[in-house]
Amino acid sequence: MSPTIPRVRTRLSDLAEQAGVSTATVSRVLNGKPGVASSTRQAVLAALDVLGYERPSVLRGRSAGLVGLIVPELTNPVFPAFAQAIESILAQRGYTPLLCTQAPGGTTEDEYVSTLVDHSVDGIVFVSGLHADTRADHTRYSMLRSQGVPIVLVNGYAPGIDAPFVSPDDAASVDVAVQHLVTLGHRTIGLAIGPERYVPSRRKLAAFLAALVRHGLADDEAAAREHVRSSLYTLEGGQAAAAELLDAGHTAVVCASDLMALGAVRAARSRGLSVPDDVSVVGYDDAPLIAFTEPPLTTVRQPVEAMARATVSALLTEIQGERATRTELLFAPELVVRGSTGAAPKG
């Protein structure tokens, strides 16, 4: 008996329990019989996926179409998380995702786009692409739209591009991080961000400067600027930025990514400082495995799943010939408090 088609009663029962339907309904779905509501059929298919069964070939059907998914390099764990979430939802909707990942010196975004268009994709999703770079030429996206290719841009808003935008609320993420540290008694808080040419960095920077002034930690935004260091979105970049902030006397560092935050922890330890007894560190993303670092990292969770669902919904709306909203969809972050933050050191 093929392991891909659960036929014994115990397996049918497992599927029925997972999907919240009867075993008879499960049997009808597995055998491709009519008379089952679409939502019920999807629940059974989802149960197959959750319980680790391969979908029977009779259920796979023909792909609804190809969708390109262009993401940056995969060394930052949040990008594979986005790719997996978006790919999964596209597959559930019957589309075949084509994942395009970039690397320094490798295939460029424009080269990927050219290949995807040549393959007649139904649409393209860009995650943290050139649209997030304020110095980049954004006419490339206008050209795509003029060719009738539906696109959705994730993480980085660029006015003038005729496309849906899905972003985390970068300003709110910094606000909640600073508020957390102020509540713990910290008065010298620094910010380690990536290159300021990128929209998320600019938004985090503006929010941080305003937050320091609002909490009475700086006289004005010009003075608050002394508490900011810009580097790369890498562990090494975070270490370099945090090293300068720690040497300047900061007791807490807000970082623009979890990788940068791990670099900040390394910088503290290289100076004989304890995290969180001497220095508190807050990351951003809540990438997989971050909860298992030492100490477990306090971070601001980027709502990847919710953003992925909104992205696919907007793209399919466009593919179906309707117009998705052009107002940027901003998703609220969530502060996840773990072991890398604590009360400000006395004195």
- The predicted-structure confidence for 305-325, as pLDDT tens digits, reads as follows 999 999 999 999 999 999 999
The dihedrals phi and psi of 329, each to the nearest 5 degrees, come to -90, 115
* Comparison of pLDDT for 347 and 6, the residue scoring more: 347
Spatial neighbors of 116 by CB under 8 A, at least 6 apart, are: 66, 68, 98, 100, 124
Please report, for the domain that includes residue 213, its CATH number: 3.40.50.2300
Q: Is residue 336 part of a domain?
A: no
Please report, for the domain that includes residue 22, its CATH number: 1.10.260.40
Question: Is 175 found in the same domain as 262?
Answer: yes
pLDDT at residue 74, as a whole number:
80
- The predicted-structure confidence for 210-229, as pLDDT tens digits, reads as follows 999 999 999 999 999 999 99
What is the rounded CA–CA span in Å between residue 9 and residue 154?
A: 44
Spatial neighbors of 219 by CB under 8 A, at least 6 apart, are: 213
Model confidence at 5, in pLDDT bands (50, 70, 90)? very low
pLDDT at residue 197, as a whole number:
95
Task: Specify whether the CB–CB gap between 61 and 94 falls below 8 A.
Answer: yes
- The predicted-structure confidence for 135-169, as pLDDT tens digits, reads as follows 999 999 999 999 999 999 999 999 889 999 999 99
Which candidate, 154, 174, 176, 175, places its Cα nearest to that of 165?
154
Which candidate, 154, 151, 181, 161, places its Cα nearest to that of 300?
181
Which candidate, 93, 38, 34, places its Cα nearest to that of 58?
34
Mean pLDDT of 81-103: 91
Spatial neighbors of 322 by CB under 8 A, at least 6 apart, are: none
Question: Is 184 found in the same domain as 159?
Answer: no
Across the chain, mean pLDDT equals: 90
Is pLDDT of 8 > 70?
A: no
Question: Is 215 found in the same domain as 322?
Answer: no
What is the rounded CA–CA span in Å between residue 48 and residue 51?
A: 5
Model confidence at 58, in pLDDT bands (50, 70, 90)? low
Question: Is 146 found in the same domain as 38?
Answer: no
pLDDT at residue 211, as a whole number:
98
- The predicted-structure confidence for 182-206, as pLDDT tens digits, reads as follows 999 999 999 999 999 999 999 999 9
Range of the domain at 229: 170-302
pLDDT at residue 82, as a whole number:
95
Is pLDDT of 6 > 70?
A: no
Max Cα–Cα distance, the chain, nearest Å: 74
Task: Specify whether the CB–CB gap between 86 and 69 falls below 8 A.
Answer: yes
Which candidate, 312, 324, 318, places its Cα nearest to that of 69?
312
- The predicted-structure confidence for 276-300, as pLDDT tens digits, reads as follows 999 999 999 998 889 899 999 999 9
Question: Is 223 found in the same domain as 274?
Answer: yes
Question: Is 307 found in the same domain as 161?
Answer: yes
pLDDT at residue 10, as a whole number:
46
pLDDT at residue 43, as a whole number:
82
Q: Is residue 346 part of a domain?
A: no
Number of domains in the chain: 3
Question: Is 255 found in the same domain as 213?
Answer: yes
Question: Is 189 found in the same domain as 292?
Answer: yes
Element (H, E) at 16: helix 9-19
Question: Is 180 found in the same domain as 285?
Answer: yes
Task: Specify whether the CB–CB gap between 69 and 79 falls below 8 A.
Answer: no
Give the residue from 60, 82, 99 where a domain finishes: 60
Is pLDDT of 22 > 70?
A: yes
Q: Is residue 343 part of a domain?
A: no
